[in-house]
Structure 1
Amino acid sequence: MASRQSEISEVLDRRSEAIRVKDLELLLSFYAPDVIYFDIVPPLQYVGSAALRGRFQEWFDGPIGQDIHHLTVETSGDLAITSMLIRAGGALKNGPTVDRWVRSTSTFRRSSDSWQITHEHVSLPVNLETGTVPPDLTP
């Protein structure tokens, strides 16, 4: 039997692949129906898989890339918490191409034989003096 940490890592790898191939249904299957999602763009939160579906449909026009780095996984029973750095890139629907590092923290709940994300928080570091995201930050 796989360890809980490796199970979570596998879920995240499969989620990254769903993003790469733009399989919206597969991507949403990794999120609980009552997920709470904090993104780097407004609104303050997306609540529920229907709201998340709308957000994910807005993402990228062209190819999408997402690589996970510095993953940490903590588990206790049927709950897990992860933190990671993600290198995300692709062509946005509104035109520009992005290649940036984001920070992400997620909580998971296991039900029957699968893990689902119940909460996700994605953020960018901001220079508080200028209100801008430093463009050259790398791990």
Structure 2
Amino acid sequence: MTNEQEVRTLIENWVTAVHAGDLDTVLADHAPDIVMFDVPPPYDGVRGLDAYRDTWPGFFEWQRSGASFALESLEVTAGEDVAFAYALLLCGTPDEHKANPALRLRLTIGLHKAAGRWQVTHEHHSFPLDTPEPA
């Protein structure tokens, strides 16, 4: 498998684990010093695997209410020991999708390969800010 394929598989498995609420698999390929910028605060991000782990229970609870988390597109660029990827995901409740069918979660991931293993070192989630166009 190429580095690009390895990273693609890692991210696809992560998305599947998030959708399933499988915390152990969500955490499995993240570096101990992960930095994540997420949609909800804190605005200066989450640092470290323990803090990253703590962000997931609330999301899984919200997701059990019927929300989706599904990969729509994924682009990966991978070198020998550094890679990045960006993706669009369908993330929201049926009512949110009905109100705004075009809304997608944006995901950017940075990875590092050490000792033959890829690990996520940076993760960024965002939604576009809907503001009226300037007049």
TM-score, normalised with respect to structure 1 = 0.79
Q: Deviations over 1:44-89 (max 9, x none)?
A: 2000111111111111321553222231111121110101111123
| Higher RCO, 1 vs 2 (CA within 8 Å, ≥6 residues apart) | 2
Counterparts of 2:131 and 2:93 in 1: how far apart (Å)? 26
Q: Is the 8 A contact 2:7 2:78 kept in 1?
A: no
What TM-score do the two structures reach when normalised by structure 2? 0.81
SS across alignment from 1:41: coil
Cα distance 1:6–1:64, how it changes in 2: closer, same or farther (>3 A)? farther
Q: CA deviation at 1:128?
A: 3.7
Is 1:42–2:46 an aligned residue pair?
A: no
Q: Give the % identical residues.
A: 26
Contact 1:60 1:90 in 2 (8 A): no
- Counterpart of 2:114 in structure 1 is 111
Compute the RMSD of aligned alpha carbons: 2.0
Query: Paired residue for 2:88, among 85, 90, 98?
Result: 85
Structure ranking higher in helix proportion: 2
Matched length:
124
- Note the C-alpha offset of 1:113: 3.0
Distance 1:58 1:15 in 2: 17
Distance 2:93 2:50 in 1: 24
Aligned to 1:135: none
